[in-house]
Amino acid sequence: MPSSDAPAPEIFKPLDPAPRLLMGPGPVNVYPSVLHAMATPMLGQFDPQFTAYMNEVMVLYRQVFQTKNQWTLLINGTARAGIEACLTSMITPGDKVLVLNFGRFGHLLTEISERCGATVVTLDTAWGTVFEADQVRDAIKQHRPQIVATVHGDTSTTMAQPLAEIGAACREFDALLYVDATATLGGMEIDVDGWQLDAVTSGLQKCLSGPPGSSPITINQRIVDVVMRRKHIEEGIRPAGYQAADGQRIQSNYFDLPMLLDYWGPQRLNHHTESTSMLYAARECARVILSQGLQTTFARHKQASTALRAGLRAMGLELYGDENHRMDNVTGVHIPSAVDSDKVRAEMLVDFGIEIGTSFGSLHGVIWRIGTMGYVCSKPNILRCISALEAALRRNGYVAPPGAAVDAVYGVYDGKK
């Protein structure tokens, strides 16, 4: 029997978070139908119904990625899990990797590649800018890397790197191209096959408007050929006649792509227990945006960001970065020098229930980042955000022309600007 003087168990109240409109760089609010899908009952991972859902996920995400790649699947974990699965499996220690570094997440790709034992060379540019295709081609020609790694849209700087010509340059010099599209898949054009992208990874919590915790990826046959040279099946599940490949075993078991392909393929060779509710969520995220139409979804993101930026300019605020290469779903705006950045953000959160973000490193406290992604990407939410920001700024000493920002947003949606 427990002692009579034992402390009472510490039991918290049921979850009841205050409602928030998430308009930072991610995560964002989740589609209601995705939340509903996550409440769907569990199935065993080898139940024919469940493996059919896995196959449906592959079909759906081929369309989202605009690819015919057979191996289009999910990695259990946040977007970073997809990055690690690809780079850990693609990079054999000693390989040379060229990283296009134009923000915080270029530094992340550098670190992960170094952890994989790569010799990393970076092509660097000032934050707020991106690379011209000729710069990238010249760097590939000079360094002759096995792999080129880049972010598509880096939310830390709100810039989007054009990719259409980089794939061709990589093919010219026999390099593999890895792209982190965490912040852009579902919100901006990503033509995996047309742009000759070899491996692309993403996450649910941005333009796909799902919860963080699952990473859609797609890899083409060039990647499959490379990672299969390192194929190893763990002892205990090896089939009869198994023989390991000649290449060095992949450092991670969990992120071992060849074993994951066996799990997602017809063999259904056990690797891990698929995250059932997250698979349901990923399936519904893709189903929603494909039902809307990819081009319609891209246009909705573009219109929302155009409207937001019109409102910000009407308040006299300065937008951040190269205007020709801004992401269509995250906007950077300079914080007025006369206001307390944290106080404005706190008032927006507490008083209006709206979250916006600041940034990292040299941009922390210099810009706010406002996201217009997925379910959040709508006229009512843009108007609500702009109105709240104008009020919070006024309360903190920055007075914009009254109503001008709202009128500017209406102007975009009414087709007048």
Q: Read off the CATH number of the domain in which 379 is found.
A: 3.90.1150.10
**Whole-number CA gyration radius for the chain:** 23
- Do 328 and 204 fall into the same domain? no
In terms of domains, do 85 and 201 share one?
yes
Per-residue pLDDT at 416 exceeds 80 = no
Is it the case that residue 344 has pLDDT exceeding 60? yes
Which one, of 69, 56, 55, lies nearest residue 218 by Cα?
69
* Domain CATH for 60: 3.40.640.10
Largest CA distance in the chain: 76
- The secondary structure of residue 212, as a DSSP letter, is S
Q: Which domain holds residue 311?
A: 294-413
Please indicate, yes or no, whether residues 284 and 333 belong to a single structural domain of this protein. Answer: no
207 and 308 in one domain? no
Q: Please name the residues in contact with 324: beta carbons below 8 A apart, sequence gap of 6 or more.
A: none
Last residue of a domain, one of 224, 255, 289: 289
Q: Both 179 and 89 in a single domain? A: yes
- Counting other chains too, the contacts that 413-416 makes at CB distance below 8 Å and 24 or more residues apart are 413/303, 413/307, 413/379
> 348, 355 in Cβ contact below 8 A?
yes
Domains held by the chain: number = 2
pLDDT (0 to 100) of residue 360 = 86
Distance CA 335, CA 333 (A): 6
Task: Indicate whether 4 pLDDT > 70.
Answer: no
pLDDT digits (tens, 9 = 90+) for 169-186: 999 999 999 999 999 999
The torsion angle over the Cα atoms of residues 299, 392, 104 and 286, rounded to 10 degrees, is: -30
Tens digit of pLDDT for each residue in 245-302?
A: 999 999 999 999 999 999 999 999 999 999 999 999 999 999 999 999 999 999 999 9
The 10s digit of each residue's pLDDT in 100-152 is 999 999 999 999 999 999 999 999 999 999 999 999 999 999 999 999 999 99
This prediction has a pTM of 0.96
For residues 347 and 324, give the distance between their C-alpha atoms in angstroms, rounded to a whole number: 32
